Amino acid sequence: MDFNDKPDRSRSKAYKWERYKGTEILPMWIADTEFRCAEPILAALHQRIDDGLFGYTHPDHDVEAIAAVVAWCHRRYGWQIDPSWLVWTPGIVPAFNVMINAVCQAGDKIIVQTPNYPPILAAPSINKLERLCIGSVLEQGRWTLDFDALEKAAEDPKARLFIMCNPMNPMGSVLKQDELDRIADICRKHDVLLCSDEIHADLILDDVPHLPASAHPKLADHSVTLMAASKTFNIAGLGAAFAIIPNPTLRAAFNLAARGILPWVNVAGLTATHAAFKHCDAWYQQQLAYLKDNRDFLVREINKIDGLKVISPAATFLLWVDASELAVADTQAWCEARGIGPSAGRDFGDKHFFRLNFGCARAYLVDAVNRLQGNKASLTGHNSVDLAEKE
């Protein structure tokens, strides 16, 4: 696999590229990568297509795919999960919304960290519930949760659920053991359930472990952990994810809330997830090394640009860029005028930032740095897209 490839994604109508179609803006927003799938995934999909049979398939009957998830969790996190804990879902976003329906009642409140992945921020209001925001703090050069704010929010008797994102999107931090311990203590003390979105867990670039929430002894009964192969293996369009729910009562409530709303997971997604977790270790390690080099390059170069500041993310292929020193009214418009299309910080909860996706060929990053330095004079505001209008 050559990660330096720049595949043409127009034929597959990639959302990332469609947004800026017809402009010269380099899309660096939505969180999928520019990398073609690993061969074993493609082979498994080809074989599945060649069957020519796509009738109803209950994911619980795909014991090989379930075994691949169980083995992956054991190999990657030292977490021995029971196959019965697994609930397949067609995505992580529907899963955390189902979790809200499973455990919350009218009048309950949901805690979320900010800045955060926009659908996590939106989930409380979608479900007509109040959101309690807790901020993020910089500690020893690394973003983490504001734990005092978490404690305070959890004290609210109406606080029922904390939807967490670990590793964090957009900041790329990975929670440490003592931090997860603290979250566990707070959630137990105030009887707040935890829904942990761990979609980026397999994209840790530094030498730090990922600690799945539901593997924590104090959280096993008190949480749901959401994972997927989708980010790591670039199969998000196939719509497959899973919830790991050790507590049978919570699992039954989740399944009940999903009934009639969530479809069974797509058979292609199931096949791809199985192949990803079973046969793609070499590709995976190669990708991690490539992403790490990409990150180091981008962090170094962006920190040289006047007005921009970044902290190296321990995980994800996302870079949270602090543009507050630019003192421009619209950071997104500033980027687009330079020919870069990042995710707008305002959508994550901080308009002074923007988020760059570095899951792409290094050549794109060289180009992006050039553009951010203002070296593409021809790329001026005329190509700018009104993102607010398109969201």
Ligand X SMILES: Cc1ncc(COP(=O)(O)O)c(C=O)c1O
Task: Please give the residue ranges that form the binding site for ligand X (CB under 6 A).
Answer: 31, 91-93, 117, 165, 169, 197, 199, 228, 230, 236, 241
Smallest gap, in angstroms, from Cβ of residue 151 to ligand X? 23
3-state DSSP assignment of residue 228: coil
Least separation in angstroms between residue 133's CB and ligand X is 16
CA pair distance 291, 293, nearest whole angstrom: 5
- Tell the smallest beta-carbon distance from residue 91 to ligand X (Å): 3
Q: How far is CA 313 from the centre of its chain?
A: 13
Q: In this complex, which beta carbon is closest to ligand X, that of residue 171 or of residue 335? A: 171
For residue 86, count CB atoms less than 10 angstroms from its CB and return exposed for 0-12, middle for 13-18, buried for 19 or more. buried
Shortest distance, position 30 Cβ to ligand X, whole Å? 7
Beta strands in 108-222 (DSSP E): 109-113, 130-134, 136-139, 142-145, 159-165, 193-197
**CB nearer ligand X, residue 215 or residue 243:** 243
Place of tokens 């003592």: 178
Nearest-approach distance from CB 105 to ligand X, in angstroms = 24
Closest residue to ligand X using C-beta atoms: 91
Q: Is the Cβ of residue 239 or residue 246 nearer to ligand X in the bound state?
A: 239
79 vs 117, which CB is nearer to ligand X?
A: 117
**Maximum distance among all alpha carbons in the chain?**
60
Polymer length of the chain:
391
Half-sphere exposure of 377 (CA within 13 A, CB side): 0
Least distance from ligand X to the Cβ atom of residue 218, Å? 23
Closer Cβ to ligand X, 236 or 319, answer by number: 236
Nearer to ligand X, 262 or 365 (CB): 262
Q: Rounded to the nearest whole angstrom, what is the least distance from the CB of residue 196 to ligand X in the complex?
A: 10
Q: Which is nearer to ligand X, 81 or 235 (CB)?
A: 235
Three-state secondary structure call for residue 237: helix
- Rounding to the nearest 10 degrees, give the CA dihedral for residues 308, 327, 336, 91: 70
Q: What is the DSSP letter of 37?
A: P
Q: Collapse the DSSP code of 183 into the 3-class scheme (helix H, G, I; strand E, B; otherwise coil) and give the result.
A: helix
In 3D space, the residue among 381, 146, 104 whose CA is nearest the CA of residue 250 turns out to be 104
Q: Which lies closer to ligand X via its Cβ, residue 20 or residue 117?
A: 117
Q: What is the DSSP annotation of 264-330? A: PPPHHHHHHHHHHHHH-HHHHHHHHHHHHHHHHHHHHHHTTSTT-EE---SBSSEEEEE-GGG--S-
**Phi, psi at residue 367, to the nearest 5°?**
-60, -45
Give whichever of 91 and 349 is closer to ligand X, judged by the CB atom.
91
Minimum Å gap between C-beta 266 and ligand X is 11
Nearest distance from C-beta of residue 117 to ligand X, angstroms? 4
